[in-house]
Structure 1
Amino acid sequence: MYWLFLLLALAALVVAFKASSGALLVISLLASLGFFIAWILGLMAARIGSASRDEGMMLDPNELRRLREQAEARKLAAAAQQTSDPQQR
């Protein structure tokens, strides 16, 4: 959709080059500038939006706490297994 702004900016420049009136020239140049800025902002928003993470994949604090507890339990179980049976290595 933001590419439409670039096409409109180019069309406004064409109108500015063909204009015989000073007022039409100024209006079309300002419109071209506005459409160009809208195109740049749309392009930046699309790039930032494609690079951002999905909010659905983020963990809530309870889930993060549960995962930390599981990791700590696995660490303790591995340490207990190594101390109880050092000959198997």
Structure 2
Amino acid sequence: MHWLFLLLALGAFALALKTPHDGVMLLSLLGTLVFLLAWVRGLYVARFGNLQRDISSVIDPAELRRLRELGKARRQAATEDTDTP
């Protein structure tokens, strides 16, 4: 769907090049800019997904603390294993 905006931008730019009237040229160049921005936004959303952040992936502080303690215990166990011959 976002590729339609690119085609509309090209059409508006072609109209701007062909028209002899200054007002029509200005409006079509403005339309070209708007359609190009809509195309870039559509391309971004298509590649990177929705603009909203998924709140379910956020870790609460208690879980983060537990993961830090678990990592600290694993590092200590790894250093104890390398220290003993």
The normalised TM-score by structure 2 is 0.58
* Structure 2: gaps of 5 or more residues: 57-85
Q: What root-mean-square deviation, in Å, do the aligned CA atoms of Structure 1 and Structure 2 show? A: 3.5
CA distance in 2, matches of 1:3, 1:55: 30
Match of 1:44 in 2: 44
CA distance in 1, matches of 2:40, 2:17: 22
Deviation, 1:42, is 0.5
Alignment identity in percent? 45
Deviation, 1:23, is 0.1
CA distance in 1, matches of 2:49, 2:38: 18
Alignment deviations for residues 45-76 of structure 1 (CA, whole Å, 9 cap, x no partner)? 111x459xx999xxxxxxxxxxxxxxxxxxxx
Kindly indicate whether residue 27 of structure 2 is the aligned counterpart of residue 27 of structure 1: yes
Alignment deviations for residues 15-67 of structure 1 (CA, whole Å, 9 cap, x no partner)? 000011000000000000000000000101111x459xx999xxxxxxxxxxx
Shift >6 Å, 4+ stretches? none
* Structure 1: gaps of 5 or more residues: 57-89
CA distance in 2, matches of 1:35, 1:24: 16
How many residue pairs get aligned? The number is 81
